[in-house]
């Protein structure tokens, strides 16, 4: 199946679009992106932009038995996994978000986690986590402070724009989380 490839007009129209979470109560891990990109907004699938390394990292770390495509995101629920975002609105780049949006998104995320009660919340992006949760010195990995009974982990942002981490390095960080769950 050839995935839908939005054109420039469709991408522009995706600005500020929101896409539904892939979530359910009691997940093993609720992965949390910063916010959807325009490609995700246009396709209505999380981490949909070609070059995003979320799906390969999930597979290479052992979370999924094969590499899923963004349009197969619903299959994550069967594996006890889900996806949400700190900020719901789509934008061309995460740096378009304001500090206030990130803080408001963090507060809403705390409420979502309290309702869904995943075993782990994995925030994908250290800068967004630091701002949204007010932990300016946080580092990648398991966080000291959880949210109730939910552990909090920070993983690197899988965007292809994140040059600090190769795909292998991203998968290794995802693997640390998976191994901690086992």
Cα separation, 21 vs 39, whole angstroms: 16
The confidence score (pLDDT) of residue 182 equals 84
DSSP three-state, residue 128: helix
Q: What is the pLDDT of residue 2?
A: 63
Q: Which residues pair with 85 in a beta bridge?
A: 33
Reply yes or no on whether the pLDDT at 164 is more than 90. no
When pLDDT is averaged across residues 13-34 and rounded to a whole number, the result is 97
User: Quick one: average pLDDT of 22-39?
Assistant: 97
What token pair was written down for 139?
């580092």
| pLDDT average, residue stretch 108-135 | 97
Q: Radius of gyration over alpha carbons of the chain, in Å?
A: 15
Domains and CATH numbers, the chain: 8-181 (3.40.470.10)
Q: Does residue 1 surpass a pLDDT of 90? A: no
Please tell me the pTM assigned to this model.
0.96
> Which pLDDT score is estimated for 7?
93
3-state secondary structure 57-87: HHHHHCCCCCCCCHHHHHHHHHHCEEEEECC
Spell out the residues 6+ positions from residue 52 whose beta carbon is closer than 8 angstroms to its own: 37, 158, 159, 160
User: Average pLDDT, stretch 102-117?
Assistant: 97
């Amino acid at each position: 199946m050839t995935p839908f490839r939005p054109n420039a007009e469709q991408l522009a129209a995706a600005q500020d679009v929101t896409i539904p979470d892939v979530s359910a109560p009691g997940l093993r891990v609720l992965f949390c992106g910063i916010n959807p990109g325009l490609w995700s907004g246009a396709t209505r699938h999380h981490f949909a932009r070609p070059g995003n390394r979320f799906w390969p990292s999930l597979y290479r770390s052992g979370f999924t038995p094969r590499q899923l495509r963004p349009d197969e995101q619903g299959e994550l629920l069967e594996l006890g996994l889900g996806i949400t975002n700190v900020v719901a609105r789509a934008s061309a780049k995460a740096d378009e978000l304001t500090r206030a949006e990130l803080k408001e998104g963090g507060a809403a995320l705390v409420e979502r986690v309290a309702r869904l009660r995943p075993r782990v919340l994995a925030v994908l992006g250290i800068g967004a986590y630091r701002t949204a949760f007010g932990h300016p010195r946080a580092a990648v990995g398991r966080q000291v402070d959880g949210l109730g009974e939910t552990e909090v982990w920070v993983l690197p942002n899988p965007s292809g724009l994140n040059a600090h981490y190769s795909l292998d390095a991203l998968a290794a960080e995802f693997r640390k989380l998976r191994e901690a769950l086992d």
